Structures are given as structure tokens and as C-alpha cells.
Amino acid sequence: MNVKIVSKSGQVPRYQTTGSSGMDVRAYLPDGDLVLWPGDRYPVPTGLFFAIPEGCEAQVRARSGLALKYGIGLPNGIGTIDSDYRGELKVLLINWGKEPFTIRDGDRIAQLVFARYETVEWEPAESLDETDRGVGGFGSTGK
């Protein structure tokens, strides 16, 4: 998949290993560091702008090392960048940790995963087909 990108820093997201599904995204903070205090949420600029192909999305995901070591995550779980968005990618981070966390220009703050998706057209029905699970919800299939 080819994706057009504009980068204020001149850097583009990249895979760290050949088996990586996510590319590391870096903070763009040319005016200085940003401190996230415990409980704070902030849209961290990346200086990146995309033209994602129609039928695709970019998913912004937390970095597991930041989550484990410092309690830094994404309050919405996974962020979605739609194919028709042309604004700057800002990564919404939250500090769930107990200590302030400093973000510096160029720090790796998130991962970016691209995915194709289907557009759904609803088909009204009077009933649905039966399955072994049926209406069993949370925890219904056991541990």
C-alpha cells in the first residue's frame, strides 16, 4: 500500500523490525518538552499528515513499553484515522501512572497500523441464524 505523507520533521514512521505490524510514531515538539502529569490527557503533535487510500484506515496504538514502564496509554484504546482526514496526526495520550512523564521531541509515542476495512450496508431481518453460542455474552465461553 502506498500512502502519501507530509512530515514537518522530515522523519516518517518506520518499522523497527521486519516482522513488525506497527510503525513507530514520534512526537513533534520543536518548541520544547511536554510533561504529562498523572491523570492528564493531551493530543501530542507528530507533524505528520497523510492521504490514506479509500477503503483503508490507520490505527494508532499504544506502545507496550510505555504502558508497562510508565502507565502511558491511549484513553480511547485505539485511535482511528479515516481515509478522508487530512489534518495533522495527533496522538491522544494519557498518563495512568503515578509519576509525571516527560515527552521530548522525537520520542517514540505510539504505533501506526494500516488496515483495509469493509463498508457495511445493513440488511434488515426478522431473525438471525442459530449458532452454538447463541446469545451468550461476557464470559459465556468459559475462562
CATH of the domain at 51: 2.70.40.10
Q: How confident is the model at residue 136 (pLDDT cuts 50, 70, 90)?
A: confident
Predicted pLDDT at 133: 80
97 in a structural domain:
yes
Beta bridge partners of 114: 58
Residues for the chain: how many in total?
Answer: 143
Local structure of 65: helix, strand or coil: helix
Q: How confident is the model at residue 66 (pLDDT cuts 50, 70, 90)?
A: very high
Predicted pLDDT at 110: 97
Is 63 within 8 Å of 74 (Cβ atoms)? no
pTM recorded for the entire structure:
0.87
Predicted pLDDT at 138: 81
With CA atoms as reference, report the closest residue to 63 among 44, 39, 84.
Answer: 44
Predicted pLDDT at 142: 72
Mean pLDDT for 45-52 is 98
37 in a structural domain:
yes
Q: Residue 87 is part of which domain span?
A: 21-116
Which amino acid is residue 97, in one-letter code? G
Cα separation values, 39 from 45, 91, 120, Å: 19, 16, 37
Per the structure, the count of domains in the chain is 1
**What's the CA gap between 58 and 56, in Å, rounded?**
7
Mean pLDDT for 49-58 is 97
10 in a structural domain:
no
